[in-house]
Structure formats: C-alpha cells, structure tokens
Structure 1
Amino acid sequence: MRLIPSAILATGLAATAIHAAEAKPHLREHAEINRGLTIIAISDMIRKKCDGIEPRLFRAYGFMRELKQIANDAGYSDDEIEAYVTDKAEKTRVEDAARAWLSGQGVALDEEQGYCRVGRAEIERKSQVGVLLRAR
C-alpha cells in the first residue's frame, strides 16, 4: 500500500518538473518585445544626438503601453516587466542592438550628421522609429 502514495508523489513531482520546463521564457527572448525596445532606444538615441529632431512623447508613450500589453498578454506580470526594463544589463544589451542598427545604417556614432540623416529618413518613411520622432 505504500507504493500507491509514492507513485502519486512521483507523478506529481514529474508533472511539476514538466510544468517548470514549459514555463515562459525570459522576456529577453520575446522577439516582438525586444524589437520594440530596440526601436525605442534607436529613436531615443537619434533625438538625443540630433538637435533638429525631437521626440513625439505621446506616440512613444502609447508604443510603450502597447509593448507592455503584449508582455502582459504573454503572461508576464507588471513586476516582471518592470524588473526587465530596469535591469542594467538588459538595458545595455538593447542599447547595443540599437547602436548596431544605427551603424548598419551608416551612422558614425560620434557624429550628429548621421543621426539626423537617418532620423529624417525614418520620419519620411513613417517607419516605427520615424513615427516616434518629429523634425523641428
């Protein structure tokens, strides 16, 4: 008779292990969230480096709320999201991705001119980066 409780316990432990293995991945692995955070970082870098471009704050805020909703819909709590976006290592990783994208667009990271050129092109294209910015 002792085998039955042991079997039930073993089954429960196995189910718990399987559930843990199926747990949601870290937010850094969510492609849409990371793409969105990289877009925000690119826009922020452009507006900081180019005096002729400013942010569209309401649009940026709306875009951030959309990303948060996507994360919530994927099962992430507000605390998990906050911890992720305030983590210094994750912020550095996203900023590095933004710099890589800008470099890929021909921007010399120490020169304002390239940021302005790319920023204006993105605004004109009405890309996601561009809709977060406005030319002065």
Structure 2
Amino acid sequence: MKKLILSALTASIVAAAVPALAQVPLSQEKYINDRLIAARVADRVRRECGSIDARIVYAWSQARALKRYAQNQGYSDAQIDAFLDSKQDKARIYAAAEDYLTRNGAAKGDAESYCRIGRAEIASKSVAGSFLVAK
C-alpha cells in the first residue's frame, strides 16, 4: 500500500512539473500575444476613429481573464509583471499591431481608414472587434 501511495505521489509531482518545464516565455505564448496585439489594434482604432469607441469595462474584464489564463498556465505573477513591464515586448506588440493595421489599409492621418478597419473588426466579431463599439 505504501508503495502504491508513493508511486501515485511521485506521478502527481512529475505531472505537475512537466508543464512548468515545457513552459515557453510569455513573449512566445501565442494566445496571450495574439490578444494583446488585438487589444492594441482596438486601442489604435478607437483613438483614430471618432465614430468608434472602446468597451472599457469589457476590455478590463478581458485583461483580468488573460492574467488568470497566464496564471493557470503556470506563469507566476512576477513573470507576468516582468512581461508586461518589458519595453522590448511592448514595442514588439505595438509593431505587430501597426503592421496589422497597415496591411489592412490604415493610413496615418486618414481617420476613415481606421474606421473601416474598426467596422470590419466589429462585424467579423474578431477579438479586436469585441473591444470596440460604434457610436
């Protein structure tokens, strides 16, 4: 019986350790990065397009959900904070969002180009669109 309990305990410890060993850096975690890029796209659209606004309460709740997701994946609060405070990661996320906007027709100084993207994101019910609402 002791041997069975010891085996079960060992197996559970190894199973718990495997995800931590396989953990990729947050900067490479696709789900998290994709949502942060989408949030930045939505932020740029709402800042540039006067006829589209942000769903602030929803965005805030999604930010908290994303943090819980990271914690559930085994990332510590210190790792999450370091990632969010990283100037390099912030620049990479902002650049990816700008690239997405440019590829989809956004042009600096052309508010309507951002509005078109925003309306398309809302209509397609994308992650970015979920953060936006037409006024």
Length-normalised TM-score, structure 1: 0.79
Separation of aligned partners in 1, 2:55 and 2:25: 30
Separation of aligned partners in 1, 2:123 and 2:32: 24
**What secondary structure, in the 3-state scheme, does the structure 1 residue paired with 2:35 have?**
helix
Separation of aligned partners in 1, 2:36 and 2:88: 14
The match for 1:7 is: none
The match for 1:116 is: 115
The match for 2:57 is: 58
1:36 and 2:35 aligned: yes
Separation of aligned partners in 2, 1:123 and 1:23: 36
C-alpha offsets along residues 55-90 of structure 1, whole Å, 9 cap, x if unaligned?
A: 101111121112111111111111211111121111
Separation of aligned partners in 2, 1:133 and 1:113: 15
| One-letter code aligned to 1:70 | Y
| One-letter code aligned to 1:82 | D
Separation of aligned partners in 2, 1:53 and 1:125: 15
CA contact (8 A) 1:106 1:114 kept: yes
**What secondary structure, in the 3-state scheme, does the structure 2 residue paired with 1:54 have?**
strand
Deviation at 1:121, TM superposition (A): 1.5
1:125 and 2:106 aligned: no
After the TM superposition, which segments of 4 or more aligned residues of structure 1 sit over 3 Å from their partners?
none
RMSD: 1.5
Deviation at 1:115, TM superposition (A): 0.5
CA contact (8 A) 1:99 1:109 kept: no
The match for 1:70 is: 69
**Which structure 1 residue ranges, 5 or more long, are not aligned?**
1-18
**What secondary structure, in the 3-state scheme, does the structure 1 residue paired with 2:112 have?**
helix
Q: Which protein is bigger by CA-based radius of gyration?
A: 1
**What secondary structure, in the 3-state scheme, does the structure 2 residue paired with 1:110 have?**
coil
CA contact (8 A) 1:50 1:112 kept: yes
**Which structure 2 residue ranges, 5 or more long, are not aligned?**
1-17
Separation of aligned partners in 2, 1:34 and 1:121: 21
Aligned pairs, number: 116
